[in-house]
Structure 1
Amino acid sequence: MVKLKTTKKRIKRIAQQINFSPSWQGCIILSVFLLLSCVSSVGAQDTLAELTDASKELKVGLDTFWVVFASILVIFMNAGFAMLETGLCRRKNAVNMLSKNLIVFAISTVAYWAVGFALMFGDGTNFFGFSGFFLAGMDNSPAINGEYIGVYSSLGSINIPLAAKFLFQVAFAGTAATIVSGAVAERIKFIDFILFSVFLVAIAYPLVGHWVWGNGWLAQLGFKDFAGSTVVHSVGGWSALVGSILLGARNGKYKPSGGIMPLPGHNLSLATLGCFILWIGWFGFNAGSTFELSQNISYIALTTNLAAASGAISATIISWVLAGKPDLSLIINGVLSGLVAITASCAFVSYGDAMIIGIVGGALVVVSVYYLDNVKIDDPVGAISVHLVNGIWGTIAVGLFASPIVSGDPEIRGLFTTGNISLLGTQLLGIFVVGVFMVVYSFIVWSILKALLGLRVSEEEEYFGLDIGEHGMEAYNGFSEDVNEI
């Protein structure tokens, strides 16, 4: 009896060491006890060692399942973007929007597999990786004797298979490219968008990702971006801003007298559905970035939800005050702005601060949408305001609200929570450097495409719609042919 009690204590200690929750510890102890009752006392030590190994395998399996599930949620966000962007654009461009959102993930998968993942996580310099192209590098997950022997050392501490790591990261890469499609909608050539997406996912996004998540120079300075306010959303947002400026506004959007002509989306039901899909997918986006099935995922999911909700409420109130009526498109973008804003800090801030971050995000998106229209930067779906403006705000928010109590890391200390200003300075440096790099890179790529292929469709194609001009089909066959109604 004494021996069984001793064994129980040892099993419990092992379960605690590999970070199982109390409920999992109880299950493991019960399972081991039942098995030990069936073996002789002579083989008890060997059985205990085998069960310890089995417990570790179980944790790897559960972590892998969680990351793959989170990856699927993030990949499904492509459907959300497709519905959102299609609904907020005119009917004559619906096929074009659906086509771009569908093909972009396929392109992202191949480009990131061939080049991007290696540049982002492969061993190399502080600025880029140069190992493991075509996902050919060795990976040691699960760890072999606790020793890393692969070529992706920045991911070495994540004890799940390489395939799971890649699947999650490629979902993020595809999101960065998808952001661009909405801002350049209704006037860009399909081929230009495809080619820009290749260059974004294969080169620009991985380079920024290496600096932050690949143990690059920004990470070594202490820059924090838990799930991608800068790495994903600002990268996509800067690309969208430059592309929108170089393309110019849609015909008829701005009057010669200086007035603004509304070009409303054709189906706000689709747009609202897209918003809900994105809201749900974001739980995988943020909580999946833990890379393990732990109690932290519930905390991250709740901070994410609070920011989204407060962003929606904030945008509703402000649009109501400014426009006299609550604008559904701004309510939708308020939700998304709260989500983008909390992405960098979801694991570092308190519930109350998450709500403040969302409230500010909801206000910023309304002000930004109006401002961009006033300076004649045409963004049909509000992608720049949502992803760039709030990507920047979310990154700053880490430096303001990050709490070492919440994060469990004494180095993650925000100005408002601890009086520490150094983290805020590092966050601002990261925003500036990434912004300069992405503006220059995007300008070069967009300009080359413009010189070689031309960025815009013809005036006739734009008038009758990209569905007919670019794809030779309609999303709603048999409806009115009067382009003034669509």
Structure 2
Amino acid sequence: MMKVFTPVLAYVSSAQDSLAVDSAVAEVAEATMVVASETAAEVVDYSTQIADVLLTSNNIWMMLATALVFIMHLGFAGVETGFSQAKNTVNILFKNTITPIIGILTYAVCGFFLMYPGFDVPGWFAFDGAGWSMFWFSPADADVTTGYADGGYTYWTDFLFQAMFAATAATIVSGAVAERIKISTYLIFTVIYVGLVYPLIGSWKWGGGALDDMGFYDFAGSTLVHSVGGWGALAGIILLGPRIGKYVDGKVVDKPGASVPLAVIGVFMLWLGWFGFNGGSVLSADPGLVSFVLVTTSLAACTGGIGGFIGGYLLFKRLDIGMMLNGILAGLVGITAGADVINPGWALFVGLVAGIAVVYSVVLLDKLKLDDVVGAVSVHLVCGIWGTLAVGLFSTNPEHTFWIQLKGVVICGLAAFTAAFLIFFILKKTFGIRVSEEHEKSGLDSHEHGIRGYTIIYPD
């Protein structure tokens, strides 16, 4: 009988062992799933933490760049005041103080939404509505997390960084038309030009419009900022005419500026600000690209200064500090369009050509009796055009061609100059754009501001 049950007992024992193994396997599988689940959660958590760190680091750099661009307004104030006559010091400072105020406010009201309308199909005209709603946003409404700009920076940083660029375009006009324009006329022009013209032209490239679709490239604004400001300055000096006594019997009469040291300080402030202007245009804290851009920017500034020094010596047979200063700015403007795609070797060449070009441009404008007090047209327009075309010549990206760059320069130039000329012309025929001869001769400080920039009070 026992022999009959032995196989059965053996089978039962085997089945029990199998169940035990299956149970053990199930327990191991369950434990593995728990560990895998916990590991996946940790990976997700680390991924979120990394994204947060990247957002923070990118945003901090962008905010720092914004501050550097803002400080450029102090640089412009120093350059323009230093190169202008002492009797107009307060007038220059007043314009340079109110310009960023106007720029930021108009950009908040409509400029930001005009410049980045989100073209459904790349075109020339699009508008995303006025910016009134922005004034009532909370941080949550503005989506400050990784949802905005692919996690590169926040909505608020984007707005403020771009607003600083808008104000810069207007400041360029200020220096060219100095010492004879009505302050009221300048303010009206600035509101219209910064609020409408600049962002509209900018939208064609940076807002995804027709120029962007065409393949036009302008990294940080040799054309979209500097040339747009330069075209506005050219229109202004044409309609204003030269200062009284600037051109007499075919000769150029020098009108010494108030302070060479102040002009030098201003140029170095602008050079410092350009680290944010170009470096911030990377739109992230990418260490490789940001450092590359800062190198090309500085190299072009250096050779620009050398070009200004050489050009000034060849033409005037003296070591002209003014030309060297404008050469530095010329080099900076020239490299701005391609600071991220032109290698350091060619950046040296771009800056050198810009520095030499600015000297000859200043002389040419004087021959044409176009009175530009600080050389704004030569620095920002002439060298802005050169820098934009240089992208088509020296870019490491084969898709950037000279022909497309030239088309972009012509299109932006026609739009900016036509708009600026029309605004100034209408203002000239209605309110008038030039101060009286008496006020111009005695200085704008006393008549329009009731205070002088340089006052020495002797004790009794």
Short-chain TM bin: 0.7 to 0.9
Rounded to whole Å, the distance in 1 between the matches of 2:142 and 2:369 is 49
Corresponding residue pairs, total: 416
- Aligned pair in 2 of structure 1 residues 450, 349: CA closer, same or farther (>3 Å)? same
RCO greater where, 1 or 2, for CA within 8 Å and sep 6 or more? 2
**C-alpha displacement at 1:322, in angstroms?**
1.3
TM-score scaled by length of structure 1: 0.83
Q: Which moved more, 1:378-387 or 1:445-454?
A: 445-454
Question: Is the CA contact 1:118–1:135 (under 8 Å) kept in the aligned structure 2?
Answer: no
**Secondary structure of 1:223's partner?**
coil
TM-score scaled by length of structure 2: 0.87
Rounded to whole Å, the distance in 1 between the matches of 2:273 and 2:418 is 31
**Aligned-partner residue type, residue 202 of structure 1:** G
**Aligned-partner residue type, residue 355 of structure 1:** L
**C-alpha displacement at 1:326, in angstroms?**
1.2
Rounded to whole Å, the distance in 2 between the matches of 1:325 and 1:78 is 30
**C-alpha displacement at 1:41, in angstroms?**
8.5
Q: 1:445 aligns with which of 423, 439, 446?
A: 423
**C-alpha displacement at 1:299, in angstroms?**
0.4
1:35-65 residue CA offsets vs partner (Å, 9 max, x unmatched): xxxxx98734322211210110110111111
- Aligned pair in 2 of structure 1 residues 400, 327: CA closer, same or farther (>3 Å)? same
Rounded to whole Å, the distance in 2 between the matches of 1:472 and 1:49 is 65
Structure 1 counterpart of 2:16: none
**C-alpha displacement at 1:321, in angstroms?**
1.7
Rounded to whole Å, the distance in 1 between the matches of 2:132 and 2:57 is 23
Question: Is the CA contact 2:223–2:385 (under 8 Å) kept in the aligned structure 1?
Answer: yes
Is 1:436 paired with 2:414? yes
**Aligned-partner residue type, residue 145 of structure 2:** P
1:404-444 residue CA offsets vs partner (Å, 9 max, x unmatched): 3xxxxx534xxxxxxxxxx1111111111111111211111
**C-alpha displacement at 1:122, in angstroms?**
1.8
Is 1:361 paired with 2:358? no
**C-alpha displacement at 1:139, in angstroms?**
5.4
Question: Is the CA contact 2:51–2:146 (under 8 Å) kept in the aligned structure 1?
Answer: no
**Aligned-partner residue type, residue 142 of structure 1:** T
**C-alpha displacement at 1:450, in angstroms?**
1.0
- Aligned pair in 2 of structure 1 residues 479, 231: CA closer, same or farther (>3 Å)? farther
Q: 1:130 aligns with which of 127, 130, 139?
A: 127
Q: 2:369 aligns with which of 353, 376, 381?
A: 376
Question: Is the CA contact 2:182–2:435 (under 8 Å) kept in the aligned structure 1?
Answer: yes
Question: Is the CA contact 2:124–2:209 (under 8 Å) kept in the aligned structure 1?
Answer: yes
Structure 2 counterpart of 1:72: 67
Q: 1:172 aligns with which of 165, 170, 187?
A: 165
- Aligned pair in 2 of structure 1 residues 42, 260: CA closer, same or farther (>3 Å)? closer
**C-alpha displacement at 1:141, in angstroms?**
5.1
Percentage identity across paired residues of the two chains: 44
**C-alpha displacement at 1:142, in angstroms?**
3.4
Rounded to whole Å, the distance in 1 between the matches of 2:363 and 2:47 is 60
**Aligned-partner residue type, residue 305 of structure 1:** S
Is 1:276 paired with 2:256? no
**Secondary structure of 2:131's partner?**
helix
**Aligned-partner residue type, residue 318 of structure 2:** K
Larger Rg: 2
**Secondary structure of 1:133's partner?**
coil
Question: Is the CA contact 1:312–1:362 (under 8 Å) kept in the aligned structure 2?
Answer: yes
Is 1:117 paired with 2:105? no
Rounded to whole Å, the distance in 1 between the matches of 2:301 and 2:450 is 39
Structure 2 counterpart of 1:43: 38
1:147-197 residue CA offsets vs partner (Å, 9 max, x unmatched): x8xxxxxxx456321111011100100100000000000000111111111
Rounded to whole Å, the distance in 2 between the matches of 1:317 and 1:479 is 42
Structure 2 counterpart of 1:395: 388
- Aligned pair in 2 of structure 1 residues 388, 322: CA closer, same or farther (>3 Å)? same
